[in-house]
Structure 1
Amino acid sequence: MKTKAVRLYGKKDLRLEEFELPQIKEDEILAKVVSDSICMSSYKAATQATDHKRVPNNISEEPIVIGHEFSGEIVEVGAKWQHKFKPGQKYSIQPAIYYEDGPVGILSAPGYSYQHIGGDATYVIIPKDVLEQDCLLAYDGPGFYPASLSEPLSCVIGAMHANYHTKPGSYIHEMEIVEGGKMAILAGVGPMGLAAINYVVSREDRKPSLLVVTDIAQDRLDRAAEIFPVEWAKEKGIELVYLNTGNVEDPVKALKDVSSGEGYNDVFVFAPVTPVVEQGDAILAHDGCLNFFAGPSDTEFSAKLNFYNVHYAYTHIVGTSGGNNDDMVEALDVMSKGLDPAGLITHIGGLNAVAETTLNLPNIPGGKKLIYTHKNLPLVAISDFAERGKTEPFYAELADLVAETKGLWNVKAEEYLLANAPEI
Structure 2
Amino acid sequence: MKTKAVRLYGKQDLRIEEFDLPPISNDEILAKVVTDSLCMSSYKAANQAADHKRVPDNIADSPIIIGHEFAGEIMEVGASWTHRFKPGQKFSIQPAIYYEEGPVGVLSAPGYSYQYIGGDATYVIIPKDVLVQDCLLVYEGPGFYPASLAEPLSCVIGAMHANYHTKAGSYVHDMEIVEGGKMAILAGVGPMGLAAINYALRREDRKPSLLVVTDIDQERLDRAASLYTVEFAASRGIDLRYVNTLFMDNAVEGLRKIADGEGFNDVFVFAPVPQVIEQGDAILGFDGCLNFFAGPSKADFSAKMNFYNVHYAYTHVVGTSGGNTYDMKEALEIMTKGLDPAGLVTHIGGLNVVPEATLDLPNIPGGKKLIYPHVEMPLTAISDFKEKGKINPVYAGLAEICDRHNGLWNVEAETYLLANFEGLNN
Q: TM-score range by the shorter chain?
A: over 0.9
Find the counterpart in structure 1 of residue 420 from structure 2.
Answer: 420
Q: What is the identity, as a one-letter code, of the residue corresponding to 1:228?
A: Y
Q: Deviation of residue 99 (structure 1)?
A: 2.1
The aligned counterpart of 1:108 is 108
Which whole-Å CA distance do the structure 1 matches of 2:13 and 2:86 have between them? 36
Q: 2:16 corresponds to which residue?
A: 16
Separation of aligned partners in 1, 2:359 and 2:221: 29
What SS does structure 1 have at the residue aligned with 2:242? strand
5 Å-filtered alignment, 1:102-251, equals 106-251=106-251
Displacement of 1:100 after TM fit? 3.2
> Aligned pair 1:36/2:36, yes or no?
yes
Gaps spanning 5+ residues in structure 2: where? none
2:312 maps to 1:312: yes
Quote the Cα distance in structure 2 between the aligned partners of 1:186 and 1:385: 31
CA distance in 1, matches of 2:214, 2:364: 23
- What amino acid sits opposite 2:349 in the alignment? G
Q: Structure 1 residue 332: deviation in Å? A: 0.6
Distance in structure 1 (CA, Å) of the matches to 2:316 and 2:241: 24
Q: Is 1:370 the equivalent of 2:370? A: yes
Deviations 1:112-156 (A, max 9, x none): 111111111111110101000100000001110011111100000
CA distance in 2, matches of 1:294, 1:117: 27
What's the TM-score, normalizing by structure 1?
Answer: 0.97
CA contact (8 A) 1:389 1:397 kept: yes
Is the 1:6–1:354 Cα contact (8 Å) retained in structure 2?
A: yes
Once residues 54 and 307 of structure 2 are traced to their aligned partners in structure 1, the CA distance between those partners, rounded to angstroms, is: 36
How many corresponding residue pairs? 423
- 1:99 counterpart = 2:93: no
* 1:377–1:422 Cα contact (<8 Å) kept: no
User: Structure 1: which 5+ residue stretches go unaligned?
Assistant: none
Q: State the 1:217 CA deviation.
A: 1.8
Matches for 1:58-69 after TM superposition, within 5 Å: 58-69=58-69
**One-letter amino acid matched to 1:67:** G
Write the distance in 2 (CA, Å) between the matches of 1:303 and 1:30: 46
Equivalent AA in structure 1 for residue 48 of structure 2: Q
Q: 2:396: which partner in 1?
A: 396
Where do 1:52-63 residues align within 5 Å? 52-63=52-63
Bigger Cα displacement from structure 2, 357-366 vs 315-324: 357-366
Deviation string 1:201-247 (CA, Å, 9 cap, x unpaired) is: 10000101110111112221111111111000000111111111111
Secondary structure of the structure 1 residue equivalent to 2:375: coil
Partners of 1:108 and 1:16 in 2: how far apart?
22
Secondary structure of 1:339 counterpart: coil
> Structure 1 CA distance, aligned partners of 2:130 and 2:32?
16
- Structure 1: which amino acid aligns with 2:113? S
Give the Cα separation in 1 of the matches to 2:76 and 2:304: 54
Specify the alignment match of 1:287 in structure 2: 287
Letter matched to residue 114 of structure 2: Y
Aligned residue identity for 2:117? I
The offset of 1:406, in angstroms, is 1.8
